[in-house]
Amino acid sequence: MLHACNRRMNPFKPTAGGEPPLLIGRERVIRDFDKGLDNGVGAPGRIMLITGARGTGKTVMLTVLGDKARAHKWDVIEETASDGLCERLVNELRSKEGLIDKLTIAPSISFAGTGVSLGEAELSPKRMPETLRKAMSARLDVLEKHDAGLMISIDETQAASRADLIAIATAIQHQIRERRNVAIVFAGLPQMISDLFDDEVITFLRRARTNVLADVPISDVKKAFAQTFEDSGMSIDNELLDKAAVSTAGYPYMIQLVGYYIWDAADSRDSTMICEEDVSEGIREAHVDLDNAVCIPELHGLSKNDRAYLEAMAVSDGPSETSEIAKRMGRSAKYAATYRKRLLDAYVIQQTDRGEVDFAVPFLREYLRRRL
């Protein structure tokens, strides 16, 4: 029993949305947002888009930015896109003390013969933009009396319906025009950007700050490992630190997995000195989790031909040209383009700056190569 109480806690957080012991390489995004809060209405950091592949830290970033807003005494509403997003936003905006709209919560007031309550009508898709805008204004009226503002964050934006996005964008745009104290951050997979930007109705989002969360530099991973191990009472030598850091490829989810399993390996030997075997075993275990949590789900539901396209991509060590992939598949460029589009839409691959394609998640290439 005593032994259990004395046990140290593993500081790494290899779970979706789990706040890591050290948030590596994201200072600029946080500073941008924080400055936006300081600099008052109209500051650019107040409308932000955060994109990145699975496991790059979008959800964690929303949590951290929400904490920044709370530190400024702002109200924070955190939502994840799925059916009924705007309805939930309206309810959250109104549930705050003193703002409950009596008409909306009284289901007995119905339109004659329709059986539809006034509340339901207000929440109908057609009325939603207006309802959301009013709910936001009412909340801001109260907050601004206390010099506070309102931050809204939307996670998994790529899953939002167009109608919900339009309602949110118009409501926010209205508040900004009225010079209200409001901030909004959308996080989602990279495809969300083109969806949002291509939409003529949501053009004002084009002026938002866009932050792409990429992999972080290995040297920063190494420093963060050194500090996290040290802070939790583990010692590790420089060469092993290098090996551990390199194995993550700077991919945030992998950083937590590798750290976690190395720490765990030493801890299960009841040692505070990390040895070479701990590092090898930690990396091995991290790969098993990564395969299960990222690689297998990414490939799940793909057809044989989708997979053939990916396998043709995996031949290169980096991005591939579309024409080259078609050649490797022994197919026409048109045939390959169909699968390219399917895989882009499924967020399994992404376009690089030069118009080539690459895996959206690192390690997928390695996973496919191992299976071939």
DSSP-assigned letters across all residues of 45-96: GGEEEEE-STTSSHHHHHHHHHHHHHHTT-EEEEEE-STTHHHHHHHHHHHS
Other beta carbons within 10 Å of 237 = 12
Q: What angle do CA 345, 334, 298 make, to 5 degrees?
A: 30
DSSP annotation of 320: B
What is the footprint of ligand ATP within residues 215-244 (CB under 6 A)?
none
Q: Is 18 in the site for ligand ATP (CB under 6 A)?
A: yes
Q: Is 15 in the site for ligand ATP (CB under 6 A)?
A: yes
Q: Is 13 in the site for ligand ATP (CB under 6 A)?
A: yes
Q: Is 297 in the site for ligand ATP (CB under 6 A)?
A: no
Q: Is 170 in the site for ligand ATP (CB under 6 A)?
A: no
Of 58 and 331, CB closest to Mg ion: 58
Other beta carbons within 10 Å of 220 = 15
Between CA 365 and CA 188 the distance in angstroms is 23
Of 23 and 89, CB closest to ligand ATP: 23
Residue 320 binding partner per list Mg ion, ligand ATP, none, with a CB distance cut-off of 5 to 8 Å that depends on partner kind: none
Least distance CB 60 / Mg ion (angstroms) = 8
What is the footprint of ligand ATP within residues 255-284 (CB under 6 A)?
255-256
Q: Is 59 in the site for ligand ATP (CB under 6 A)?
A: yes
Between CA 29 and CA 263 the distance in angstroms is 29
Count residues near ligand ATP (CB under 6 A).
Answer: 23
Place of tokens 């909340």: 139
CB of 332 closer than 8 Å to CB of 349:
no
| DSSP-based three-state secondary structure for 239 | helix
DSSP E strand boundaries for 146-303: 150-155, 182-188, 209-212
Residue 131 binding partner per list ligand ATP, Mg ion, none, with a CB distance cut-off of 5 to 8 Å that depends on partner kind: none
Residues 6 or more apart whose CB falls under 8 angstroms from that of 368 comprise: 310, 311, 314
Q: Which residue is nearest to ligand ATP (CB)?
A: 57
Using CB under 6 A, pick the residue from 52, 66, 149, 362 that binds ligand ATP. Answer: 52
Q: Is 54 in the site for ligand ATP (CB under 6 A)?
A: yes
Short-list 230, 257, 232, 258, CA closest to 243? 258
Of 18 and 42, CB closest to ligand ATP: 18
What is the footprint of ligand ATP within residues 302-321 (CB under 6 A)?
none
What residues line the site for Mg ion (CB under 5 A)? 58-59
Cα–Cα separations (whole angstroms), residue 287 to 6, 76, 224, 247, 364: 30, 36, 20, 10, 11
Q: How far is CA 107 from the centre of its chain?
A: 37
Q: Is 40 in the site for ligand ATP (CB under 6 A)?
A: no
Q: Which stretch binds ligand ATP (CB under 6 A): 52-60, 101-109, 265-273, 331-339?
A: 52-60
| DSSP-based three-state secondary structure for 188 | strand
What is the footprint of ligand ATP within residues 327-366 (CB under 6 A)?
none
Q: Which stretch binds ligand ATP (CB under 6 A): 50-58, 69-77, 87-95, 330-338?
A: 50-58
Of 62 and 93, CB closest to ligand ATP: 62
Least distance CB 54 / ligand ATP (angstroms) = 4
Q: How far is CA 120 from the centre of its chain?
A: 32
> Where along the sequence are the contacts to ligand ATP (CB under 6 A)?
13-18, 20, 23-26, 52, 54-60, 252-253, 255-256
